[in-house]
Chain A
């Protein structure tokens, strides 16, 4: 069937275009418009140019939140990748009781974030938490997360790793299972040690999966909210605040929609910037596979 006029083609394309327009493009344009205006409830929007962006970027609370976010992202995502990779290789090596262990490893992904935080708060309660009591019994220092900002950030990092490890693990495990056994046999015949096989066979072939897992986790981790909000609410004294919490406060506590919208766009740009290296790596790999 040949369509001569563009008007004849539109109905066929429309569902996808309408969906993208209504769900992504129009809301994004609206947020851009909001970010260039000062507005709140009962107050009509006033055009302020880039003032909201300047205000957010010069707010020490935002810069601290951005720093905390970057720190959590870098620490949590890479540690999670190392753990996920280690576990994927362990499982692929023929671990006994693999099915049961697989369920156990994937279980945190089925737990609601709210319940997970409530559980961790109880376990690590500085006064009556069972984990705190155990650490104290073993003569180890407690995780003083309700007082020390650095401890709180470590706790948030550990919690986010625990919650999202199944995602990274399952991607890497599936990719590892897809590597043909013949390659390992060939490497062994050529005299490769297990480490050589890991370096020359496993890692290059897991590369695309690692980049995909990293990219997704970078983006997900950058918008971390519930772990922080439910654990510390950004305290003590806003010291553990992350960008998504800052945005929430601007929009829903202070009803400052202009600065909230500006924060949202800064957040998008910052997360893209942080993930740029991996995006280029992915493009290179995709281009490489195409040849």
Chain B
């Protein structure tokens, strides 16, 4: 019998192969007629839900289309998107672009969307935060529709604050530094706690500290270090925190994901993260302190309190259509759907930073404890730095000098002067 089973003839092999191919081809007839290929970060896909909670369910059946997602981490995503857009043609119909990338050269690779907006408008387009729309407008042409923002807030572990006898979170930057120092201790549970944990590979954090003193790295007018003394003050606070152990010894190798883990495990009392991380930080299955991790606006310095608002950092994402892609009408329909009021609200419930002002006022958002503070912070928030061709290199130089200053390998004043000298030629270029 086994001989018979192994007796594979050319005829039976070809028959099986053809039958298999036919079955696979027939399988296609059950799928949607069209496929829209989207290039994004995983989070952009996740917030649109799956199964019964799929926010695109009706859109897919109405358009007889399926959505195929290809996801990457932020930097590799931008690299792949630009690589695809620079080819003679691409299979990707829609891409997600972060707002510090669209320079004039990059914008030229994507479809201007003004004509689409006029012909087949997005529901209540004026409701989308104008600042975010501006971030996706290059030389007067709209190249992306805002879809998500990540506004930075100060997160703190209320349980650890209480353990150290601190009744309220800080209201000024000086109080934050003081509390972080007090919260560098070994907790009752025996965990060594660092006052604050920050990643050292993102410009967001040192820029926030500089802004608390009224300074900046590069402002919207492309002025480099518009207030160098403020940057020096901000970096001095970080340096002192490192010297006293309030910033952990591993500061130079700490990454964004570590911030989440450290806060969830009670290894740090404060951190700076997007408000959208609130649910994850308080997730019962991941966090040792569910319900105890709270968020407030990052505090401004005592000297500026009440005189000017704190300008926190916001990073926004927009949906773009590569100029070399096919079926742009379907791409626009997708963008229109994802930008609708209902989809924006649905995504916000799933942890997305909503780009529509009205979403925050929706009763459904009242269950989100940080929605109100996030909306207030968003009003004055702006990007870490504006887009320009050498922005990534400028950020890298900035971070190198910041690390040298914080770790005590260079005087703060000297580091700030170096930033000015080394970044200036990149801005001029």
Task: List the interface of chain A (C-beta within 8 A of B).
Answer: 40-43, 125-128, 144-147, 231-233, 235-238, 249, 252-256
Give the contacting residue for B105; candidates A41, A145, A232, A253; CB below 8 A: A41
Interface residue? B340 (CB, 8 A): no
- Closest residue to A43 on the B side, CB-wise? B105
Bound complex: CA of A131 vs CA of B310, how far in Å?
Answer: 43
Task: List the interface of chain B (C-beta within 8 A of A).
Answer: 75-76, 79, 82-83, 85-86, 103, 105-109, 192, 194, 200-201, 248-253, 267, 389-390, 392-393, 396, 400-401, 403-404, 407, 409
Shortest C-beta distance, A247 to chain B (Å), equals: 14
Shortest C-beta distance, A44 to chain B (Å), equals: 10
* A-B contacts, 17 listed (Cβ < 8 Å): A41-B106, A42-B105, A42-B106, A42-B108, A126-B248, A127-B249, A127-B250, A146-B249, A146-B250, A147-B407, A232-B253, A236-B200, A236-B403, A237-B252, A237-B403, A237-B407, A253-B392
Bound complex: CA of A107 vs CA of B194, how far in Å?
Answer: 37
Closest 7 CB pairs of A and B: A42-B105, A236-B252, A41-B82, A146-B250, A237-B403, A146-B253, A254-B393
**CB <8 Å contact, A235 and B86:** no
- Of A126, A128, A235, the most chain B CB neighbours within 10 A belong to A235
Shortest C-beta distance, B345 to chain A (Å), equals: 35
Bound complex: CA of A231 vs CA of B253, how far in Å?
Answer: 8
**CB <8 Å contact, A252 and B407:** no
Q: Which residues of A contact B82 (CB under 8 A)?
A: 41-42, 255
**A147/B75 contact (C-beta < 8 A), A42-B105, A238-B400 known:** no
Bound complex: CA of A253 vs CA of B253, how far in Å?
Answer: 18
- Of A40, A41, A232, the most chain B CB neighbours within 10 A belong to A41
**CB <8 Å contact, A125 and B200:** no
**CB <8 Å contact, B393 and A235:** no
Shortest C-beta distance, A259 to chain B (Å), equals: 10
Q: Which residues of B contact A40 (CB under 8 A)?
A: 105, 389
Give the contacting residue for A253; candidates B192, B251, B267, B396; CB below 8 A: B396
- Closest residue to B108 on the A side, CB-wise? A42
Shortest C-beta distance, A215 to chain B (Å), equals: 33
Give the contacting residue for B109; candidates A42, A231, A252, A255; CB below 8 A: A42
**CB <8 Å contact, A41 and B409:** no
Q: Which residues of B contact A126 (CB under 8 A)?
A: 248-250
**A236/B201 contact (C-beta < 8 A), A125-B250, A146-B249 known:** no
**CB <8 Å contact, B248 and A236:** no
**CB <8 Å contact, A252 and B76:** yes
Question: Is chain A's interface secondary structure helix, strand, loop, or mixed overall?
Answer: loop
**CB <8 Å contact, B108 and A237:** no
Bound complex: CA of A237 vs CA of B419, how far in Å?
Answer: 13
Question: Is chain B's interface secondary structure helix, strand, loop, or mixed overall?
Answer: helix
Shortest C-beta distance, B108 to chain A (Å), equals: 5
Q: Which residues of B contact A236 (CB under 8 A)?
A: 200, 252-253, 403-404, 407
Bound complex: CA of A232 vs CA of B108, how far in Å?
Answer: 36
Q: Which residues of B contact A232 (CB under 8 A)?
A: 252-253
- Closest residue to B191 on the A side, CB-wise? A128
**CB <8 Å contact, B105 and A146:** no
**CB <8 Å contact, A42 and B249:** no
**CB <8 Å contact, B403 and A252:** no
**CB <8 Å contact, B108 and A144:** no
Give the contacting residue for A127; candidates B86, B105, B248, B401; CB below 8 A: B248
Q: Which residues of A contact B252 (CB under 8 A)?
A: 146-147, 232, 235-237
**A249/B403 contact (C-beta < 8 A), A42-B105, A127-B248, A232-B253 known:** no
Shortest C-beta distance, A225 to chain B (Å), equals: 15
Q: Which residues of A contact B192 (CB under 8 A)?
A: 127-128
Shortest C-beta distance, A15 to chain B (Å), equals: 25
Q: Which residues of A contact B201 (CB under 8 A)?
A: 233, 235
**CB <8 Å contact, B249 and A147:** yes
**CB <8 Å contact, B75 and A144:** no
- Closest residue to A121 on the B side, CB-wise? B253
Shortest C-beta distance, B302 to chain A (Å), equals: 30
**CB <8 Å contact, A42 and B86:** yes
Bound complex: CA of A222 vs CA of B252, how far in Å?
Answer: 25
Shortest C-beta distance, B175 to chain A (Å), equals: 25
Bound complex: CA of A186 vs CA of B276, how far in Å?
Answer: 77
Bound complex: CA of A232 vs CA of B252, how far in Å?
Answer: 8
**A237/B404 contact (C-beta < 8 A), A43-B105, A127-B250, A254-B392 known:** yes
Q: Which residues of A contact B249 (CB under 8 A)?
A: 126-127, 144, 146-147
Bound complex: CA of A123 vs CA of B188, how far in Å?
Answer: 24
Give the contacting residue for B400; candidates A42, A43, A145, A237; CB below 8 A: A237
Bound complex: CA of A41 vs CA of B253, how far in Å?
Answer: 30
- Closest residue to A235 on the B side, CB-wise? B252
Bound complex: CA of A147 vs CA of B407, how far in Å?
Answer: 8
Bound complex: CA of A32 vs CA of B89, how far in Å?
Answer: 25
**CB <8 Å contact, B396 and A249:** yes
Q: Which residues of B contact A144 (CB under 8 A)?
A: 249
Q: Which residues of A contact B401 (CB under 8 A)?
A: 237
Bound complex: CA of A253 vs CA of B105, how far in Å?
Answer: 16
**CB <8 Å contact, B403 and A235:** yes
Shortest C-beta distance, A154 to chain B (Å), equals: 15
Q: Which residues of A contact B400 (CB under 8 A)?
A: 237-238
Q: Which residues of A contact B253 (CB under 8 A)?
A: 145-146, 231-233, 235-236
Bound complex: CA of A253 vs CA of B393, how far in Å?
Answer: 8
Q: Which residues of B contact A233 (CB under 8 A)?
A: 201, 253
Q: Which residues of B contact A249 (CB under 8 A)?
A: 396
Q: Which residues of B contact A238 (CB under 8 A)?
A: 400
**CB <8 Å contact, A252 and B79:** yes
- Closest residue to B110 on the A side, CB-wise? A42
Q: Which residues of B contact A255 (CB under 8 A)?
A: 79, 82, 392
Bound complex: CA of A256 vs CA of B107, how far in Å?
Answer: 17
